[in-house]
Amino acid sequence: MKITKKTLAMTLALAFPSLASATDLAYTFLDFAALDTSIKAEGTKTPVPGQTVSIDTIDGHGIAVAGSLVVHKGFYLGGFYKSSVVDLVGVVQSPLTTVNVKDTFDLVESSFSFGYLHAIGDKLDLVAELLYDTSTYDFGSFAGENFDLDDSGVGGLIGFRWNPRREVEVFLTGRYSPVAKPLLTEGRYESGTSVSAGLRWYFFENLGVGIEYESGEVDQTTLSMRFSFGNLPW
């Protein structure tokens, strides 16, 4: 049986699905967001003999900017920058007195990613990303103690973007980060995972609003505005 070029091309297309997005979702975009942040962290330090300082982190609010740029069919670069001001309560104990204190601290998170997308059918994309995460906790000091943390490392993400209708996106991701959990007493980070899910609605073709909830060592609810620029031709 003679195999024509057309038959061969169709066979290869079926055997190796397109690496480009089969959905209407863009992978070149810019996000601006508001954050609601909750952190499960506590620590104790002894800045001088006989005096201890203990703190517990609570909740806070912040802002974020994120973006993505298609660099080739199936591949994209991305990243985000998040800054939050978070409440904390503390206790300063010494032989003479015990003082309850309240304050805020700054949490700054950033990430750079190299991503790959693979179409699954015509409404679902699988995404995988190699990440470089950075995290900074800036507490200041009540009585000479130092709870500050600053570190970075390589992580990963895998997830799905579902486009059931042209104007609707549903997404789910799992993330691993080497700077996920702050160990304030030890003065270091511990690696960990988080899961996030969200919904985005495009009320114009290239403009949408979204809500996302991430559950992990740092829980965050994100409200965002997305400006999409389509999948650029390169």
pLDDT at position 232: 53
Beta strands 51-72 and 149-165: pairing type? unpaired
Distances (CA, A) of 185 to 113, 173, 213: 30, 30, 28
* pTM, entire model: 0.85
pLDDT at position 18: 40
Q: For domain 18-40+60-85+105-228, which CATH number applies: 1.10.220.70, 1.20.1050.10, 2.40.128.100, 3.40.109.10?
A: 2.40.128.100
pLDDT at position 205: 82
Mean pLDDT by 10 residues, the chain (234 residues): 43 39 81 95 92 94 96 93 96 91 96 95 93 97 93 97 92 97 96 97 92 95 93 51
Residue 9 backbone phi and psi in degrees, to 5:
-65, -40
Vertex 162, ends 193 and 135: CA angle to 5°? 30
